[in-house]
Amino acid sequence: MTTTRLNSPAFGRDVTLGSAFREFARHPSPWFIGVMFLGALAARITIGSWSWADALVPLVMLALFPVLEWVIHVFVLHWRPRRLAGLTVDPLLARKHRAHHSDPRDIPLDFIPAPVFLWLTPLLLTITVFVAPRIEWGLTFLVTITALGLGYEWTHFLIHTDYKPRTVLYQATWRHHRNHHYRNEHYWFTVTTSGTADRLLGTEPDPDTVEKSPTAKHLHGLDNSSR
Protein backbone atom coordinates (compact mmCIF):
# COMPACT_ATOMS: atom_id res chain seq x y z
CA MET A 1 0.00 0.00 0.00
CA THR A 2 1.38 3.42 -0.96
CA THR A 3 1.70 6.12 1.64
CA THR A 4 1.19 9.87 1.49
CA ARG A 5 4.80 10.65 2.35
CA LEU A 6 5.74 10.65 -1.34
CA ASN A 7 6.03 14.20 -2.72
CA SER A 8 4.72 15.59 0.57
CA PRO A 9 5.84 19.05 1.74
CA ALA A 10 6.51 17.41 5.12
CA PHE A 11 9.48 15.52 3.70
CA GLY A 12 12.57 16.61 1.85
CA ARG A 13 15.63 18.75 2.35
CA ASP A 14 13.97 22.10 3.04
CA VAL A 15 10.99 21.40 5.27
CA THR A 16 9.75 24.55 7.04
CA LEU A 17 7.12 24.98 9.71
CA GLY A 18 4.90 26.49 7.02
CA SER A 19 5.16 23.55 4.64
CA ALA A 20 4.70 21.11 7.51
CA PHE A 21 1.60 23.00 8.69
CA ARG A 22 0.08 22.89 5.21
CA GLU A 23 0.39 19.11 5.27
CA PHE A 24 -0.92 18.99 8.85
CA ALA A 25 -4.05 20.93 7.84
CA ARG A 26 -4.88 18.41 5.11
CA HIS A 27 -5.82 15.72 7.66
CA PRO A 28 -9.16 15.33 9.45
CA SER A 29 -8.03 14.95 13.05
CA PRO A 30 -6.80 18.57 13.51
CA TRP A 31 -10.10 19.80 12.07
CA PHE A 32 -12.23 17.63 14.36
CA ILE A 33 -10.31 18.82 17.40
CA GLY A 34 -10.11 22.40 16.19
CA VAL A 35 -13.88 22.67 15.70
CA MET A 36 -14.46 21.32 19.22
CA PHE A 37 -11.91 23.79 20.60
CA LEU A 38 -13.48 26.81 18.87
CA GLY A 39 -17.01 25.73 19.83
CA ALA A 40 -16.06 25.22 23.46
CA LEU A 41 -14.15 28.51 23.57
CA ALA A 42 -17.08 30.44 22.08
CA ALA A 43 -19.51 28.84 24.53
CA ARG A 44 -17.21 29.52 27.48
CA ILE A 45 -16.82 33.20 26.57
CA THR A 46 -20.57 33.55 26.00
CA ILE A 47 -21.50 32.06 29.38
CA GLY A 48 -18.93 34.07 31.34
CA SER A 49 -19.14 33.69 35.14
CA TRP A 50 -15.37 33.37 35.46
CA SER A 51 -13.91 31.96 38.66
CA TRP A 52 -10.71 30.60 40.18
CA ALA A 53 -11.45 27.24 38.51
CA ASP A 54 -10.84 28.75 35.07
CA ALA A 55 -7.19 29.15 36.06
CA LEU A 56 -6.83 26.05 38.22
CA VAL A 57 -8.40 23.52 35.82
CA PRO A 58 -5.97 24.26 32.93
CA LEU A 59 -2.97 24.22 35.27
CA VAL A 60 -3.92 20.84 36.74
CA MET A 61 -4.68 19.37 33.32
CA LEU A 62 -1.39 20.65 31.90
CA ALA A 63 0.49 19.03 34.78
CA LEU A 64 -1.35 15.72 34.37
CA PHE A 65 -1.32 15.56 30.57
CA PRO A 66 2.09 13.82 30.29
CA VAL A 67 0.81 11.09 32.62
CA LEU A 68 -2.35 10.74 30.50
CA GLU A 69 -0.17 10.44 27.39
CA TRP A 70 1.89 7.74 29.10
CA VAL A 71 -1.14 5.73 30.26
CA ILE A 72 -2.85 5.85 26.85
CA HIS A 73 0.37 4.99 25.04
CA VAL A 74 1.21 2.04 27.26
CA PHE A 75 -2.22 0.51 27.89
CA VAL A 76 -4.22 1.48 24.78
CA LEU A 77 -1.85 2.06 21.86
CA HIS A 78 0.50 -0.79 22.84
CA TRP A 79 -2.35 -3.16 23.62
CA ARG A 80 -1.44 -6.73 22.70
CA PRO A 81 -4.32 -8.54 20.90
CA ARG A 82 -6.03 -10.96 23.28
CA ARG A 83 -8.57 -13.75 22.97
CA LEU A 84 -11.48 -13.18 25.34
CA ALA A 85 -14.57 -15.42 25.34
CA GLY A 86 -13.55 -16.79 21.97
CA LEU A 87 -13.17 -13.34 20.39
CA THR A 88 -10.00 -11.46 19.47
CA VAL A 89 -9.91 -8.07 21.20
CA ASP A 90 -7.79 -5.78 19.06
CA PRO A 91 -9.08 -2.17 19.06
CA LEU A 92 -8.65 0.17 16.11
CA LEU A 93 -6.27 2.45 18.01
CA ALA A 94 -3.94 -0.45 18.78
CA ARG A 95 -4.03 -1.74 15.20
CA LYS A 96 -3.31 1.69 13.74
CA HIS A 97 -0.52 2.27 16.23
CA ARG A 98 1.17 -1.01 15.30
CA ALA A 99 0.98 0.09 11.66
CA HIS A 100 2.46 3.46 12.69
CA HIS A 101 5.43 1.71 14.29
CA SER A 102 5.82 -0.41 11.18
CA ASP A 103 6.07 2.73 9.01
CA PRO A 104 6.65 5.88 11.09
CA ARG A 105 6.84 8.02 7.95
CA ASP A 106 3.35 7.18 6.69
CA ILE A 107 1.65 10.51 7.41
CA PRO A 108 -2.00 9.48 8.01
CA LEU A 109 -0.84 7.06 10.71
CA ASP A 110 0.58 10.00 12.68
CA PHE A 111 -2.93 11.15 13.55
CA ILE A 112 -5.83 9.99 15.71
CA PRO A 113 -7.97 7.84 13.36
CA ALA A 114 -11.15 9.65 12.27
CA PRO A 115 -13.53 6.88 13.50
CA VAL A 116 -12.26 7.44 17.06
CA PHE A 117 -14.10 10.77 17.14
CA LEU A 118 -17.42 8.93 16.83
CA TRP A 119 -17.04 7.93 20.50
CA LEU A 120 -14.47 10.44 21.74
CA THR A 121 -16.63 13.48 20.97
CA PRO A 122 -19.70 12.21 22.89
CA LEU A 123 -17.41 11.19 25.77
CA LEU A 124 -15.89 14.67 26.06
CA LEU A 125 -19.31 16.32 25.79
CA THR A 126 -20.69 14.02 28.49
CA ILE A 127 -17.86 15.00 30.83
CA THR A 128 -18.41 18.66 29.98
CA VAL A 129 -22.17 18.68 30.58
CA PHE A 130 -22.87 15.92 33.10
CA VAL A 131 -19.68 15.15 35.04
CA ALA A 132 -18.28 18.61 35.71
CA PRO A 133 -19.80 20.26 38.81
CA ARG A 134 -20.71 23.36 36.77
CA ILE A 135 -21.12 23.85 33.02
CA GLU A 136 -18.60 26.71 33.17
CA TRP A 137 -15.96 24.39 34.58
CA GLY A 138 -16.92 21.71 32.07
CA LEU A 139 -16.40 24.10 29.18
CA THR A 140 -13.06 25.19 30.61
CA PHE A 141 -12.13 21.50 30.71
CA LEU A 142 -13.22 21.07 27.08
CA VAL A 143 -11.28 24.13 25.91
CA THR A 144 -8.17 22.88 27.68
CA ILE A 145 -8.32 19.24 26.60
CA THR A 146 -8.90 20.16 22.95
CA ALA A 147 -6.04 22.69 23.05
CA LEU A 148 -3.78 19.99 24.51
CA GLY A 149 -5.06 17.57 21.88
CA LEU A 150 -4.15 19.96 19.08
CA GLY A 151 -0.71 20.39 20.63
CA TYR A 152 -0.31 16.63 20.79
CA GLU A 153 -1.31 16.07 17.16
CA TRP A 154 0.96 18.87 15.89
CA THR A 155 3.97 17.77 17.95
CA HIS A 156 3.60 14.11 17.03
CA PHE A 157 3.15 14.92 13.35
CA LEU A 158 6.10 17.34 13.27
CA ILE A 159 8.45 14.84 14.91
CA HIS A 160 7.75 12.40 12.09
CA THR A 161 8.48 14.94 9.35
CA ASP A 162 11.91 16.01 8.11
CA TYR A 163 11.69 19.33 9.92
CA LYS A 164 14.91 19.83 11.85
CA PRO A 165 14.74 20.80 15.55
CA ARG A 166 15.64 24.45 16.09
CA THR A 167 15.17 24.83 19.86
CA VAL A 168 16.57 22.95 22.84
CA LEU A 169 13.09 22.01 24.07
CA TYR A 170 11.96 20.62 20.73
CA GLN A 171 15.30 18.85 20.23
CA ALA A 172 14.76 16.98 23.50
CA THR A 173 11.15 16.10 22.62
CA TRP A 174 12.15 15.06 19.08
CA ARG A 175 14.98 12.82 20.34
CA HIS A 176 12.78 11.35 23.06
CA HIS A 177 10.05 10.14 20.68
CA ARG A 178 12.52 8.98 18.06
CA ASN A 179 14.19 6.81 20.67
CA HIS A 180 10.82 5.15 21.23
CA HIS A 181 10.44 4.38 17.52
CA TYR A 182 13.97 3.62 16.46
CA ARG A 183 15.70 2.28 19.58
CA ASN A 184 13.28 0.53 21.91
CA GLU A 185 9.48 0.64 22.03
CA HIS A 186 9.39 -0.29 25.73
CA TYR A 187 10.59 3.17 26.82
CA TRP A 188 9.99 6.90 26.17
CA PHE A 189 6.19 6.91 25.99
CA THR A 190 5.38 10.62 26.31
CA VAL A 191 5.17 12.58 23.05
CA THR A 192 4.80 16.28 23.77
CA THR A 193 7.40 16.35 26.55
CA SER A 194 10.59 14.54 27.50
CA GLY A 195 11.71 13.46 30.93
CA THR A 196 8.33 14.08 32.58
CA ALA A 197 5.97 11.12 33.07
CA ASP A 198 8.60 8.69 31.76
CA ARG A 199 11.04 9.75 34.44
CA LEU A 200 8.29 9.53 37.06
CA LEU A 201 7.16 6.06 35.93
CA GLY A 202 10.55 4.51 35.26
CA THR A 203 10.66 4.48 31.45
CA GLU A 204 13.32 7.16 30.87
CA PRO A 205 16.64 5.27 30.76
CA ASP A 206 19.91 6.57 29.38
CA PRO A 207 19.57 5.68 25.65
CA ASP A 208 23.21 4.56 25.55
CA THR A 209 22.39 1.78 28.04
CA VAL A 210 19.41 0.43 26.05
CA GLU A 211 19.87 -2.11 23.29
CA LYS A 212 18.02 -1.61 20.01
CA SER A 213 14.84 -3.64 20.04
CA PRO A 214 14.18 -6.09 17.17
CA THR A 215 10.43 -5.44 17.56
CA ALA A 216 10.40 -1.62 17.53
CA LYS A 217 8.87 -1.77 14.04
CA HIS A 218 6.84 -4.90 14.74
CA LEU A 219 5.12 -4.43 18.09
CA HIS A 220 4.67 -7.71 19.97
CA GLY A 221 6.42 -9.43 17.07
CA LEU A 222 3.24 -9.20 14.95
CA ASP A 223 2.84 -8.60 11.24
CA ASN A 224 1.40 -5.07 11.10
CA SER A 225 1.10 -4.70 7.35
CA SER A 226 -2.72 -4.70 7.43
CA ARG A 227 -4.47 -1.64 8.90
pLDDT band at 11 (very low <50, low <70, confident <90, very high): confident
pLDDT in tens, 162-176: 999 999 999 999 999
Reply yes or no on whether the pLDDT at 26 is more than 50: yes
The mean pLDDT value for 77-106 works out to 96
User: What CA–CA distances, in Å, run from 51 to 39, 48, 54, 106, 176?
Assistant: 20, 9, 6, 44, 37
The mean pLDDT value for 15-20 works out to 94
pLDDT band at 226 (very low <50, low <70, confident <90, very high): very low
Percent of the chain whose predicted confidence (pLDDT) is above 70: 95
Q: How far apart are CA 210 and CA 213, in angstroms?
A: 9
Give the SS3 label for residue 46: helix
Reply yes or no on whether the pLDDT at 61 is more than 50: yes
Q: How far apart are CA 224 and CA 155, in angstroms?
A: 24
The mean pLDDT value for 200-219 works out to 96
Per-residue confidence (pLDDT) for residue 148, from 0 to 100: 98
Q: Of 27, 41, 19, 24, which Cα lies nearest the Cα of 147?
A: 41
pTM score, whole prediction: 0.93
Reply yes or no on whether the pLDDT at 3 is more than 90: no
pLDDT band at 55 (very low <50, low <70, confident <90, very high): very high
Per-residue confidence (pLDDT) for residue 225, from 0 to 100: 53
Give the SS3 label for residue 194: coil
